[in-house]
Chain A
Amino acid sequence: MTSVVSEATEAAAPERRRLKVIPSAGDRVFLGLSRVGGLIVLAIMAGIGTFLLWRALRAFSIAKGSWFTTATWQPDAHRFGVAEVLTGTILIALIAVLVSVVLAIGTALFISEVAPRWLRAWLVSGIDLMAAVPSIVYGLWGKFWLQGHQVGVARWINTWFGWIPIFKVNGADPTNPLSSASVYTATTFVAGLVVAMMVLPIQCSIMREGFSRAPLGEREGAYALGSTRWGMVRSVVLPFGRGAMIGGTMLGLGRAMGETIAVLLIISPVPYVNFHILQTGAFSVSSLIALHYGEASPLGISALMAAGLTLFVLTLAVNFGASAIVARSRSGATSDG
């Protein structure tokens, strides 16, 4: 033993190893090629921003400050703005998120904490399938099924809570049982409910991931202190999943603001800002574009591009915020498996 040690000390100190890897020629070509894939993504995102901005400049220069305050859409009369559609978009998205967050937290907790193991895989598949169902199918369901069936609920809310401004319905007469129900259709409320179902899967899967990451030690600690399952969920799982819950909610909000076809099938435009969510007449930025792209004049197209850019910036801001929150709550995302 000692002889070995002395031998090592007597030998000349070995040159220090180089730990930095110098890529071979093949590797350099490979990395260069694969970088092209990244560049294409960058080019598309930058292209969307620049093309829309370039096309929208004319509309912006005419509308100027009134862009966010004008509710009418008459580009040829130089009177146009997103006050109405933006309000509609945000209202629809808020209703959607309010409904979907409750359901998403419930389903995510159910799948990660309550469901028996054999059921779990099926439920995860079901939620994934829900994300894959085309938006047109949701739209058809909303227009031809939900719209008719929600009238009673809308009328009830209006009758008892009509004194709250957003539940007020102009032109509805709750005392007359024979009054037309059409005033309760094509509303922000219906559109919000349909969009809620569409954004639920993404929220649910993000929250489920967050909940299942709550550490086992803390879970068992809570049980050992005599907690029930719900007590454990409240004291361990929910605090650990808070980031995922906030991030998932915001991601859902971003999706909800961009939904087009399902909303377009349900709503009907009115030329003023409509805060009454149960009253017929609702609009959103995306439906505005889908409705007017065909007949528009050059200035009209430019105004639509401006609307598209507004929506793009809005969703981008919400999503960057959301993914920052999710990324912060998710540790070890970049570690090797």
Chain B
Amino acid sequence: MTITDDLGHRRDIGPSDTGTAATVVPDRSALGRPPRRRRLRGVRTENVVSIVGSMAASLCLTVLLFGRIAPFSGLIGFVVVAYGLFLCIYLTVLSQGQDGPAVRDAVATVLLWSAMVLVIAVLAGIIIFTCVRGSTAFFHSNFFTQDLHHAGPLSPLAVGGVEHAIIGTLWMISIALLITIPVGLVGAIYINQSRSRFARLVRTLVEAMTALPSIVAGLFIYAMWILTFHQEKSGFAAALALTIMMLPILIRASDVVLRLVPGTLKEASGALGAPNWRTVWHVILPTARSGLATAVILATARGIGETSPVLLTAGYTTYLNTNPTHGPMVSLPLAAFQLVNSPEPNVVARGFAAAMFLLLLVLALFLLARFLGGRAPGDMSGRERRRAQRRSNRDRTRFEALASDEAQQFLTRSQATKGEFQ
């Protein structure tokens, strides 16, 4: 019996017995060994060994280069040379035993890993650097309880602090949030609910506004509030400028969250006869609550870190000012900016400490946002689930009461009709 195999050759596969229908196993030995299956996931031991070996080799070679052979110096230079050598050695080692695609795959994987490691290292470096330089002034208790008007350029770190900047930041961010949250949420609901052309225009405008240079936001408030309306530079003007920076961030983040609310929930609400505004108020907003809180917190984190809008609109002072509508007011980033421009090391240390405090605030807000926003919309915490359960239990008892009432009425009615028939 002859068959056509998958390569198109007609081959004889042995004696054919047309009388009985026996299963014939095709003989694959003539085809040769099939190619080995590629491993696509996981880590291959030989690659790990090659990586470690190449690293050691490149490190030794670089130390030799820097110490003995070439007149090189500097941390960044060392890292760059070592990395380049590592890539060359790794490529050579791999190409000894593997085919082209596998080598390219391994090298690309290493390149992607190193891009990620570099970025994370920079992030960690920035955080650690700020904290190390800031810690000299940060761990004085007067840093949080005094303002700077007593502290001259040469005063020791035991005098003066950034209390005025902390209070200023609190005022500015509170006023900015007071404006941003209602306007931002309403705006987000609008572009989420309306399908009109205007809503699409607003969405595009918000996208463009997220990239508005912060200095332009400050300049706009300066042109409008201070030059045209003849108001003085104050915490309130700075809060207005911060609002312009925070509003688009809040709207975009909320829009994303609102879009994640399952369409089935909205349709169920509509099917039960709820008008649009009831659906928004009773279904969409509660479902998206944790996501909206995250959006607000992220906008806050962006807002407290903005320097340039505050620089143009708030003025600068070393005195504590608790009135946001009158007199110059400083925020933490602005204080850090002004202080590090001084030539005195103690003043620079205060600037770093202010930046460190700001960074810690942002980190705390960020962790809070992660904690709140780790859940998908509609995914409830234990307390929320228990509350929902209680609510639905109440509904059940109510329905049961109604049902038993109706059953009673039905019974009495049917008995009455029975009586009539009899």
In the complex, A290 Cα to B219 Cα: how many Å?
A: 9
In the complex, A126 Cα to B268 Cα: how many Å?
A: 38
Interface residues of A in 127-163 (CB under 8 A from B): 127-130, 132-141, 143-145, 149-153, 156
Residues of A close to B244: CB separation below 8 A: 44, 48
In the complex, A77 Cα to B104 Cα: how many Å?
A: 61
B201 at the interface (CB under 8 A from A): yes
A166 at the interface (CB under 8 A from B): no
Residues of A close to B77: CB separation below 8 A: 152-153, 156
In the complex, A137 Cα to B129 Cα: how many Å?
A: 10
B76, B189, B248: the one contacting A152 at CB < 8 Å is B76
In the complex, A204 Cα to B115 Cα: how many Å?
A: 12
B213-A257 in contact (CB<8A): yes
A337-B251 in contact (CB<8A): no
Residues of B close to A103: CB separation below 8 A: 115, 118-119
Interface flags for B354-372 (1: CB within 8 Å of A; 0: not) read: 0100110011011000100
B308-A286 in contact (CB<8A): yes
B280-A52 in contact (CB<8A): no
A214 at the interface (CB under 8 A from B): no
B105-A337 in contact (CB<8A): no
Residues of A close to B109: CB separation below 8 A: 114, 229-230
Interface residues of B in 206-242 (CB under 8 A from A): 206-209, 211-217, 219-220, 222-224, 227-228
In the complex, A143 Cα to B125 Cα: how many Å?
A: 14
**Shortest distance in angstroms between B296's beta carbon and chain A's nearest beta carbon?**
14
A286-B215 in contact (CB<8A): yes
A106-B277 in contact (CB<8A): no
Residue of B nearest to A323 (CB): B207
Interface residues of B in 127-173 (CB under 8 A from A): 127, 129-130, 133
**Given A311-B216, A319-B211, A261-B108 contact (CB < 8 Å):** no
Interface-forming stretch among B4-12, B297-305, B388-396, B410-418? B297-305
In the complex, A135 Cα to B312 Cα: how many Å?
A: 16
Residues of A close to B283: CB separation below 8 A: none
Interface-forming stretch among B45-53, B84-92, B190-198, B400-408? B190-198
**Shortest distance in angstroms between B73's beta carbon and chain A's nearest beta carbon?**
6
In the complex, A264 Cα to B305 Cα: how many Å?
A: 16
B223-A51 in contact (CB<8A): yes
Residue of A nearest to B280 (CB): A30
A260-B352 in contact (CB<8A): no
Residues of A close to B366: CB separation below 8 A: 128-129, 132
Residues of A close to B301: CB separation below 8 A: 132
Interface residues of A in 274-303 (CB under 8 A from B): 286, 289-290, 293, 301
**Given A47-B220, A304-B219, A319-B207, A133-B214 contact (CB < 8 Å):** no
A251 at the interface (CB under 8 A from B): yes
Interface of A is mostly: helix
In the complex, A102 Cα to B111 Cα: how many Å?
A: 11
B216-A48 in contact (CB<8A): yes
A38-B190 in contact (CB<8A): yes
**Given A40-B187, A107-B116, A149-B74, A228-B105 contact (CB < 8 Å):** yes
B116, B215, B362: the one contacting A290 at CB < 8 Å is B215
In the complex, A45 Cα to B201 Cα: how many Å?
A: 12
A305 at the interface (CB under 8 A from B): yes
B23 at the interface (CB under 8 A from A): no
A37-B115 in contact (CB<8A): no
**Shortest distance in angstroms between A123's beta carbon and chain B's nearest beta carbon?**
7
Interface residues of B in 300-324 (CB under 8 A from A): 301-302, 304-308, 311-312
Number of A residues near B (Cβ < 8 Å) is: 99
B76-A47 in contact (CB<8A): no
In the complex, A126 Cα to B363 Cα: how many Å?
A: 11
Residues of A close to B336: CB separation below 8 A: 136, 140
A132-B209 in contact (CB<8A): no
Interface flags for B94-122 (1: CB within 8 Å of A; 0: not) read: 00000001101100110111111011101
Residue of B nearest to A27 (CB): B276
Interface of B is mostly: helix
In the complex, A125 Cα to B291 Cα: how many Å?
A: 15
A55-B223 in contact (CB<8A): yes
**Shortest distance in angstroms between A113's beta carbon and chain B's nearest beta carbon?**
8
A57 at the interface (CB under 8 A from B): no
A34, A113, A286: the one contacting B194 at CB < 8 Å is A34
In the complex, A13 Cα to B333 Cα: how many Å?
A: 73
Closest A-B pairs by Cβ, 6 of them: A258-B213, A106-B115, A134-B305, A152-B74, A37-B187, A37-B186
B residues with CB within 8 A of A: 35, 38, 40, 73-77, 80, 101-102, 104-105, 108-109, 111-116, 118-120, 122-123, 125-127, 129-130, 133, 183-191, 193-194, 198-199, 201-202, 204-209, 211-217, 219-220, 222-224, 227-228, 244, 247-248, 251, 259-263, 266, 275-278, 280, 298, 301-302, 304-308, 311-312, 333, 336-337, 340-341, 351-352, 355, 358-359, 362-363, 365-366, 370
Given A31-B194, A141-B130, A144-B133, 8 more pairs with CB closer than 8 A: A35-B190, A36-B186, A123-B120, A126-B123, A139-B337, A152-B74, A228-B38, A230-B109
A residues with CB within 8 A of B: 23-24, 26-27, 29-31, 33-38, 40-42, 44-45, 47-48, 51-52, 54-55, 102-103, 105-107, 109-111, 113-115, 123, 125-130, 132-141, 143-145, 149-153, 156, 197, 200, 204, 223, 226-231, 233, 251, 254-255, 257-261, 264-265, 286, 289-290, 293, 301, 304-305, 308, 311-312, 315-316, 319-320, 323, 336-337
